[in-house]
Amino acid sequence: MGVTERLAGFAAGRPRAFVVAAPGGTAARVAVEAVLRRRAWRQPDGPVAADLLVVCGAPGTDLAEAIDVVWDDMPAPRARTMISGTPTPDEAAAALDEATDGRHGGHGGGHEGGHGHETSAPAEPDMADRAADRDGLTLDVLHVRLGPVLADWPAGLRVATSIQGDVIQSAEAAVLGGASARPFWDAPWLAAAAGEPVTRGAAERSRAAAHLDSLGRLLSVAGWADAARRAERLRDEALAGRAAGALVPAFSAFARRVGRSRSLRWMTSGLGVIDERAVRRYDLAGPAARHPGDVAARLTGWLTEAEHALARVDDADPLAGGEGPRGPAREAPSAGLLAVLPELLEGSELAAARLIVASLDPDADQLSRSAAAGEEAADG
Amino acid sequence: MGDGTPFWTVIALPVALAAFAYGAAAFDAVLRAAAAGRHELAQAAAEPLRETARLLVQQRRTTPAPDRLLVRVGVISLPVAALLAGVVVPLGDRAVVDMPVGVVWFNAMEVIAWGSLWLTGWGVNSAYALVGGYRFVAQGLAYELPHMFALITAAVGAGSLDLSKVAAAQHGLWFAVWMPVAFAIYLISALAMAFWGPLGHPLGRDLAGGVAVELSGPDRLIFFAGRYGLVAVAAAAAVPLFLGGGAGPVLPAWAWSPVKTCVVLAALVWAGRRLPVLRMDRFMEFAWVALIPAALLQALVVAIVVVN
């Protein structure tokens, strides 16, 4: 066994897994993230820093192409795997192990030798255009696509922007298709609407977990990794069925720290302001409509609603009503969140844009059916 | 190198710097694991070793049409900057080079990091890396002036730009005690200079890693080793500047310096995980409206006391 193999074997104990979710892949993503966290496998900032690509859900053609481009960017030794459906923690863990074993065999699994790996992308990108920016200066215009493969980013979302410096001049948002599964976070309400017996507690559990999932990603984008991990932990504990008596105190400590953080409020206030007019115009529902205002207001809104939901996770009454985590579960409220994005993003800086998107967190599971239908219509 | 400087210090400096840098990385890994709910010391402390092994065998990624020379210069200059800045920092009572203008040299070497980040961010030909580069230039405009005033305040207090003399001037009363504003500003600007924690926006997760987005393999290893080196050297310099150098009871000077450095380093690493990242579009105003006037007032008070 050579030195290189030994080093690779030692490093392989904790691979860095870059997780990409396709619309409809939320169940798989949540299961995979729980395993990664339990094993202390880090989720790197970008694919180049990763050696394992985990695709959650079944991406449609466009998203699959985007994922292939990202895969080509990843340096060897590397491995990729696809996990879809609703895997148990053991199944998710087994799939990750299988992928990494393939890599460390050294022969299959995409272990490519050689140095100076050159991507197949065109050698010379287009030169930047020039145009006057918001201050009247003539600056280079770059056309940058945010997503669909980006850490802590809504599944399948692609925002085509033109930026000058790091200020977005124009933006168009779309969700690339995936599998049309039942939206993970809305499942209790949709099941109840279909006549299945669902308790109110189960639904509140889903609501709290959905908000904690959104909070975790917002905190991660805000550059506060430790708080993001705490949100993820709480999300996983809520989904694992822990009692309210254990969840509420742990959540309160987390909510105090995040809610009282002055620097977080300093960095999120005044960004992406949604007023009453925008609520009506884009037909917004759910927390985004109940807590109008900036990113900070939406963050506080999630904290408040998650706390209320967690207190009721043991409620055994049958579920009544259809108000899911993002609004009426049967009306795909994420369509409104997607529609309001361009208006909020134009004129904001890249960092602010990431926070705005994370603070709305449109659920692609809700949109994948219509997006898939739209793609087919466009193809035909 | 003066006559009084034995040859072993030339060897000792990179070894000590590497040890501090590793310690910072390991402590950071322990804190990260704890936040994820795993309280494991040994595994987490071996994490930087694992990462080193991983990056050593990893392929080097090349972006389309990069400026290879600029990237190489940018990446390699980062640990070089940390090492050169460390040359004038006394460990115990001895620096590798006892320079009469050590404080200025230290500051000048830190500024190499500006070039490192900008060259790397520009050179790899990637939009996110470029934006990361912009961010560090803006960050430099925010932190560098308060940082320089904090350094100058300590130098004024001691009446010397020689770090050993600054340390020696603090008999009985550490500068951290009688110029606390300068000390606090130094610590904030140390985080900014090493683009660490809340001041790590140039490498932000919102930019998929910012300046470092396209770095892999050995390039990534050298870049991040250099960054930990910068945090370490900033912590080490705080000891002669504000914490009395090697002075302390019972233990000899060569033992006190590393102990104090470890404490400052641990505090910087810990603080780095306690806060969300600070964006320069907001922090800049705070730096110019609050930090610079505070630093100037502190310098004025110290100057008046010294003249009297």
> DSSP secondary structure string, A225-240?
HHHHHHHHHHHHHHHT
Give exposure, A312-343, as e/b (b: 16+ Cβ within 10 Å): bbbbeeebeebebbbbebeebbbbbbbbbbbe
Q: What is the pLDDT of residues A184-226, one digit of tens each?
A: 999 999 999 888 899 999 999 999 999 999 999 999 999 999 9
Report the C-alpha gap between B282 and B276 in whole angstroms: 13
* pLDDT of B91 above 60: yes
Across the range B39-52, mean pLDDT stands at 86
Confidence at residue B254, expressed as pLDDT on a 0 to 100 scale: 82
Confidence at residue A130, expressed as pLDDT on a 0 to 100 scale: 67
CB contact under 8 A, A150 and B61: no
Confidence at residue B147, expressed as pLDDT on a 0 to 100 scale: 95
Classify strands A52-56 and A79-83 as parallel, antiparallel or unpaired.
parallel
Confidence at residue A158, expressed as pLDDT on a 0 to 100 scale: 93
In order of A75, A197, A230, A316, B227, the CA distances from B88 in angstroms are: 39, 73, 42, 69, 19
CB contact under 8 A, B205 and A77: no
Assign residue A273 a region (left: φ > 0; alpha: ψ between -120 and 50; beta: otherwise). beta
Residue A76 is encoded by which pair of tokens?
């060897």
CB contact under 8 A, A351 and B205: no
Q: What is the pLDDT of residues A12-66, one digit of tens each?
A: 778 899 999 999 899 999 999 999 988 888 899 999 999 899 999 999 889 999 9
In this complex, the residue of A163, A165, A223 whose CB is nearest that of residue B200 is A223
CA A208 to chain centroid: 16
For residue B285, the chain A residue with the least C-alpha distance is A266
* pLDDT of B155 above 60: yes
Indicate the range of A7-21, A128-142, B137-151 predicted with least confidence: A128-142
CB contact under 8 A, B206 and A226: no
Confidence at residue A359, expressed as pLDDT on a 0 to 100 scale: 95
Give the list of residues 6+ apart from residue A189 with CB closer than 8 angstroms, or none: A198, A203, A319, A321, A322, A323, A324, A329, A330
Q: Say yes or no: A311 contacts chain B, CB-CB below 8 A.
A: no
At A116, the pLDDT band (50, 70, 90 cuts) reads very low
Report the C-alpha gap between A72 and A70 in whole angstroms: 5
Confidence at residue A209, expressed as pLDDT on a 0 to 100 scale: 96
CB contact under 8 A, A7 and B57: yes
Confidence at residue A113, expressed as pLDDT on a 0 to 100 scale: 35
- Chain A interface, best mutation among B47, B71, B206, by max A CB count within 10 A: B206
In this complex, the residue of B38, B201, B217 whose CB is nearest that of residue A75 is B217
At A103, the pLDDT band (50, 70, 90 cuts) reads low
At B6, the pLDDT band (50, 70, 90 cuts) reads confident
Percentage of chain A modeled with pLDDT above 90:
53
Mapped onto helix, strand or coil, the DSSP state of residue A21 is: strand
In order of B139, B165, B190, B244, B273, the CA distances from B198 in angstroms are: 12, 33, 11, 27, 8
Indicate the range of A23-27, A178-182, A237-241 predicted with least confidence: A178-182
Q: Are B141 and B284 in contact (CB under 8 A)?
A: yes
Q: Say yes or no: A160 contacts chain B, CB-CB below 8 A.
A: no
Confidence at residue A102, expressed as pLDDT on a 0 to 100 scale: 63
Give exposure, B195-213, as e/b (b: 16+ Cβ within 10 Å): bbbbbbbbbbbbbbbbbbb
For residue B54, the chain A residue with the least C-alpha distance is A11
* pLDDT of A338 above 80: yes
CB contact under 8 A, A125 and B125: yes
Report the C-alpha gap between B166 and B158 in whole angstroms: 5
Q: What is the pLDDT of residues A357-367, one digit of tens each?
A: 999 999 988 88
Across the range B102-124, mean pLDDT stands at 93
Question: Please, is A296 exposed, middle or buried when counting C-beta atoms within 10 Å of its C-beta (0-12, 13-18, 19+)?
Answer: buried
Across the range B105-116, mean pLDDT stands at 93
Report the C-alpha gap between B91 and B100 in whole angstroms: 16
CA of A151 vs chain B CAs: smallest distance (Å): 7
Q: What is the pLDDT of residues A276-297, one digit of tens each?
A: 999 999 999 999 999 999 999 9
At A126, the pLDDT band (50, 70, 90 cuts) reads low
Report the C-alpha gap between A299 and B280 in whole angstroms: 21
At A106, the pLDDT band (50, 70, 90 cuts) reads very low
Please list every residue in chain B whose beta carbon sits closer than 8 Å to the beta carbon of residue A152.
Answer: 205
Please list every residue in chain A whose beta carbon sits closer than 8 Å to the beta carbon of residue B65.
Answer: 123-125
* pLDDT of A228 above 70: yes
CA of B257 vs chain A CAs: smallest distance (Å): 31
Percentage of chain A modeled with pLDDT above 70:
86
CA of B50 vs chain A CAs: smallest distance (Å): 5
Across the range A88-93, mean pLDDT stands at 89
Q: Tally DSSP H helices, then E strands, for chain A.
A: 15, 10
Confidence at residue B1, expressed as pLDDT on a 0 to 100 scale: 44
Confidence at residue B4, expressed as pLDDT on a 0 to 100 scale: 57
Confidence at residue A214, expressed as pLDDT on a 0 to 100 scale: 96
CB contact under 8 A, B62 and A11: no
CA of A321 vs chain B CAs: smallest distance (Å): 35
SS (H, E, C) chain B: CCCCCCCHHHHHHHHHHHHHHHHHHHHHHHHHHHHCCCCCCHHHHCHHHHHHHHHHHCCCEECCCCCHHHHHHHHHHHHHHHHHHHCCCCECCECCCCCCCHHHHHHHHHCHHHHHHHHHHHHCCCHHHHHHHHHHHHHHHHHHHHHHHHHHHHHHHHCCCCHHHHHHCCCCCCHHHHCHHHHHHHHHHHHHHCCCHHHCHHHCHHHCCHHHCCCCHHHHHHHHHHHHHHHHHHHHHHHHHHCCCCCCCCCCHHHHHHHHHHHHHHHHHHHHHHCCCCCHHHHHHHHHHHHHHHHHHHHHHHHHHHHC
CB contact under 8 A, A261 and B276: yes
Q: Say yes or no: A226 contacts chain B, CB-CB below 8 A.
A: yes
CB contact under 8 A, B61 and A40: no
* pLDDT of B20 above 90: yes
In the numeric block, the tokens 């940018």 are attached to B74
Question: What is the pTM (predicted TM-score) of this model?
Answer: 0.91
Q: Are A287 and A298 in contact (CB under 8 A)?
A: yes
CB contact under 8 A, A13 and B50: yes
CB contact under 8 A, A142 and B215: no
Confidence at residue B283, expressed as pLDDT on a 0 to 100 scale: 93
CB contact under 8 A, A116 and B216: no
The candidate with the shortest Cα–Cα distance to A75, out of A126, A9, A35, A18, is: A18
At B85, the pLDDT band (50, 70, 90 cuts) reads very high
The ipTM value here is 0.92
CA of B128 vs chain A CAs: smallest distance (Å): 9
Confidence at residue A127, expressed as pLDDT on a 0 to 100 scale: 57
In the numeric block, the tokens 């030169």 are attached to A127
In this complex, the residue of A11, A46, A232 whose CB is nearest that of residue B209 is A46
* pLDDT of B220 above 60: yes
Classify strands A52-56 and A17-21 as parallel, antiparallel or unpaired.
parallel
Q: Say yes or no: A68 contacts chain B, CB-CB below 8 A.
A: no
Average pLDDT of chain B is 90
Report the C-alpha gap between B15 and B227 in whole angstroms: 16
Confidence at residue A370, expressed as pLDDT on a 0 to 100 scale: 52
Across the range A157-170, mean pLDDT stands at 88
Q: Say yes or no: A7 contacts chain B, CB-CB below 8 A.
A: yes
* pLDDT of B279 above 50: yes
Long-range contacts of A155-158 (CB under 8 A, 24+ apart): A155/A21, A155/A22, A155/A23, A155/A24, A155/A25, A155/A26, A155/A29, A155/A57, A155/A364, A155/A365, A156/A21, A156/A22, A156/A23, A156/A59, A156/A60, A156/A63, A156/A364, A156/A368, A156/A371, A157/A338, A157/A357, A157/A362, A157/A364, A158/A66
